[in-house]
A and B are shown apart, each in its own frame.
Chain A
Amino acid sequence: MAHAVPRSRLLEPSALAAIKDLRLVARLIVEGFLAGEHLDRRPGAGIEFSQYRSYEPGDDLRSVDWRVYARSDRYFVRESEVERDITVRLVLDATASMAHADATLSKLDYSRFLMAALAYLADHQGDRISFHAVQDGTSVDLPAQHGRRSLRRVLHRLETVEPSGRWPSWEELGHRIANPRERELIVVVSDLFESTAEIEHALRNLRALGHDVLVLHLMARNELEFAFHGDLAFEDLESGEIVRGNADLMRADYLARLAAELERWRLELLEAGVTYELVAIDRPVDAALRSFLLRRGRLP
């Protein structure tokens, strides 16, 4: 007798890593997630029927369904979902540091799952999706579009993007990801490793343009706990610098500095009005999706 694999198990990053089809990954994540969540559906005067409810004083008489009244002799108001035309701009940090791996899963791999799930979810909600893979030199920019075709393009780009280079300056990046004409939900998935505060600068500028910015800060478990032992040579994926030393002796200082850095990011982004979520790449992506939905729900 075949045993059914619990869906929650499929949402583990290690399980997702075994699935080659990113679309299937995104579907598994989102449908598994939606099984316990309520989508943000606002009743209102849209086209698509949603439900009937009893008339209450103050309701617009145009919304009363007269045919139902004719049959039942009671006033019912016909409700439809409110149509909100939101642009979700997905910004992926594709710099070299995103190649950092914990066990077999790199930050970029996890980002692929997360971005795919976000895109799938946004598409499911009828949002326009824009995608940017950020790295200096080459650029991947997909303009905001509706529909399944847009989702397929995003997924294809996610599958092919490779980590390299550093985060570009705002002068180079700003005109690609910033749309001053419309308020957007910008989701930035990054490890926030920067050399001259270029990421912080970009986030502040996006916020200053009135966009709603959600930062999903990816950290590997071995980075968070510094689970290394013995004499090691640590190589910086972006700069190529090497630091040798005994990991056991390094741990205390490292953890203290890391904690200070994470706290600094949290406070800086809180001050800038950016939603910040620290995401360990060995955890399911639920928390990140929940933050996304919460932030999206706040949009008008």
Chain B
Amino acid sequence: MTWGGFAQPAWLWGLLGLLAPVAIHLLSRGRHPRIAMGSIRWLAPAESVRVRRVRLSRWGLLALRCLILALLALWLAGPRLHFAGPPGAVIWVLATPEILAERGELEPANGAAYAELDALVEAGAELRALTPPSAHAGSDPEPATDLWALIELADHDAPGGVEFEVFTLDRLSALAGARPLLGRPFRWHELSDPRPNRWLERIAFEAGAPTEAVIATSDPGATVYERRALTDGVDAGVRIERQGDGWRLELVDGGSVATDDALSLSGPPPPLQAVLFVEAERAADAARVRAALAAAAEAVDLELEVRESPPGTGEAVGDAKLVFWLTAAPVPAAILAALESGGLLVSDVLDRAERCDCWVGGGEARLARFDRLGPVDPTASRPVPLAVATGGRTVLDAVAIGSGRWIRYASRFSPSWTDWVLRPGFPEWLAGLVGEVAPSGPAARGARSDRRAMAGEARPLAVSAESESPPNAAAAIERALWLLLMLGLLAERLWGWRGAT
């Protein structure tokens, strides 16, 4: 077992913090107020011992406090120990299943990598396929579902001293989780996959049937996205089948990765319906809101149906879950009742506006400037402020109506009142609202299974080039340091308490 350095050596600068308690101790020693006594004859014999005890106690306390700081710095720095393996490093060759199963197709472009893999195995290295644990017993390796998780699992399972040689394709499929932090040395071999891969990136529906597909094609050069119109049956290279209430779409020529070729959808999501109750003179505001709503729906990949209705026409909300009330009239009770089961009502003010040279947000993060602000309905109970202008006035708040919400805007959705409607933040905010009331439906996106663009950058993180302790040993050291730190803090408090009493 040898010293393996620190995971975060910068924390060792924290040891300079030891100077603080020493300085405080020395300063406090010199700062004792001096009392002139007629005689210390009754102090000297009794207190020479006591003073020594006090001084020793102080030095002990100082040492304890220094120890606590040192332990804290060490704990944060993360010391590593190297557990030396048997003579000659033990090597595990970790290969993704495609490397082993599709060698015939990949080897012409990666001859050197395969030669190195073979040499390692011949030298005694243990060859392991990066497959889920359930697939270990099987003879036919399955494709990795999450490469990062599998590498981390192998790191956890491998005894101390084992080094990794990882062979993977540059497509790096199924990188779903966070990159692992490995506590052992490893070498990363990225094999080029010359075969193009195609997958269904996204499906668009109309009237309950798929009408359009975005097909991604990736090769070592780039990834290209192509939009194709769909009809029933095989068209544009996509086989479309009814599957119960939903659909199954499959690429006829999917390329090198078979698992991302098919997409099963239970059915298209119903379009989100929105109603704008707008006065005639605010047609321009309504057009602006409609445009922002369309952008928001596009951003969240949702079909949106927007209709406009003048107020005073019965206020039929229907199935709409998103209602804009851009009129001077009070909100009818029928609308509030219709949204109680869930939905959003958005209203703005139309009168009694005040000049207001104020902003939402501050500094660089200013979101919008407001030239006029009006009062929101004060009768509503328990409004939750969503945005507050400089000066403290609430610009945007929300009131619960059943399981729905009423969002009240203290200005107008008009550029003459605020520049918010002109900023990108406005459709982004609407996208959040649309997402909130979006009808649940099948995901219309395919799995992103090819990340060649990340090749060369996506690889596990090593603790350091030289650190070699297995993660478990490192964790044990950290736990021991943490325990010592806690004990030190407890002792310091007990010491201080005893001194105070």
Asked whether A235 lies within 8 Å of B36 as measured between CB atoms, the reply is yes
Asked whether B38 lies within 8 Å of A223 as measured between CB atoms, the reply is yes
A interface, over-half SS = mixed
B33 at the interface (CB under 8 A from A): yes
Asked whether A250 lies within 8 Å of B43 as measured between CB atoms, the reply is yes
B40 to chain A, nearest CB (A): 4
Query: Of all chain B residues, which has the CB nearest A95?
Result: B38
Asked whether A254 lies within 8 Å of B38 as measured between CB atoms, the reply is no
Asked whether B40 lies within 8 Å of A98 as measured between CB atoms, the reply is no
A97, A98, A220 — most chain B CB neighbours (10 Å): A97
Asked whether A237 lies within 8 Å of B42 as measured between CB atoms, the reply is no
Asked whether B42 lies within 8 Å of A101 as measured between CB atoms, the reply is no
Query: Of all chain B residues, which has the CB nearest A259?
Result: B42
Query: Of all chain A residues, which has the CB nearest B44?
Result: A243
A244 at the interface (CB under 8 A from B): yes
B366 at the interface (CB under 8 A from A): no
A223 to chain B, nearest CB (A): 7
Asked whether B32 lies within 8 Å of A97 as measured between CB atoms, the reply is no
- Total A-B pairs in contact (CB under 8 Å)? 90
B103 at the interface (CB under 8 A from A): no
Asked whether A245 lies within 8 Å of B35 as measured between CB atoms, the reply is no
B60 to chain A, nearest CB (A): 15
The residues of A that contact B54 with a CB separation of less than 8 Å are: 244-246, 249
Asked whether B47 lies within 8 Å of A235 as measured between CB atoms, the reply is no
Asked whether B38 lies within 8 Å of A245 as measured between CB atoms, the reply is no
Asked whether A254 lies within 8 Å of B32 as measured between CB atoms, the reply is no
The residues of B that contact A237 with a CB separation of less than 8 Å are: 36-39
**Of A5-13, A51-59, A115-123, A226-234, which binds chain B?**
A226-234
Asked whether A236 lies within 8 Å of B42 as measured between CB atoms, the reply is no
Query: Of all chain A residues, which has the CB nearest B39?
Result: A193
B382 at the interface (CB under 8 A from A): no
Q: If A243-B51, A254-B46 touch, does A236 touch B37 (CB 8 Å cutoff)?
A: yes
| Bound Cα distance A249, B52 (Å) | 12
Taking CB atoms and an 8 Å cut-off, the chain A residues in 194-252 that contact chain B are: 220, 223, 228, 230-239, 241-246, 249-250
A128 at the interface (CB under 8 A from B): no
B54 to chain A, nearest CB (A): 6
The residues of A that contact B45 with a CB separation of less than 8 Å are: 257
Asked whether A235 lies within 8 Å of B39 as measured between CB atoms, the reply is no
Q: If A232-B33, A249-B54 touch, does A243 touch B48 (CB 8 Å cutoff)?
A: yes
Asked whether A97 lies within 8 Å of B39 as measured between CB atoms, the reply is yes
Q: Which of B28, B35, B50 contacts A234 (CB 8 A)?
A: B35
Q: If A228-B35, A244-B51, A245-B54 touch, does A234 touch B46 (CB 8 Å cutoff)?
A: no
A272 at the interface (CB under 8 A from B): no
Asked whether A233 lies within 8 Å of B33 as measured between CB atoms, the reply is yes
B501 to chain A, nearest CB (A): 10
Asked whether B50 lies within 8 Å of A232 as measured between CB atoms, the reply is no
A100 at the interface (CB under 8 A from B): yes
A122 to chain B, nearest CB (A): 27
A280 at the interface (CB under 8 A from B): no
B352 at the interface (CB under 8 A from A): no
A107 at the interface (CB under 8 A from B): yes
| Bound Cα distance A232, B32 (Å) | 5
The residues of A that contact B55 with a CB separation of less than 8 Å are: 244
Would you give 12 A-B contacts (Cβ < 8 Å), ordered by A? A193-B38, A220-B38, A231-B28, A234-B43, A235-B36, A236-B40, A236-B41, A237-B38, A241-B44, A243-B44, A244-B51, A254-B43
Interface of B toward A, CB cutoff 8 Å: 28, 32-48, 50-51, 54-55
17 additional contacts (CB under 8 A) given A101-B36, A233-B33, A258-B42: A98-B38, A223-B38, A231-B28, A232-B35, A234-B37, A235-B40, A236-B37, A242-B34, A243-B40, A243-B43, A243-B47, A243-B48, A246-B54, A249-B50, A250-B47, A253-B46, A261-B42
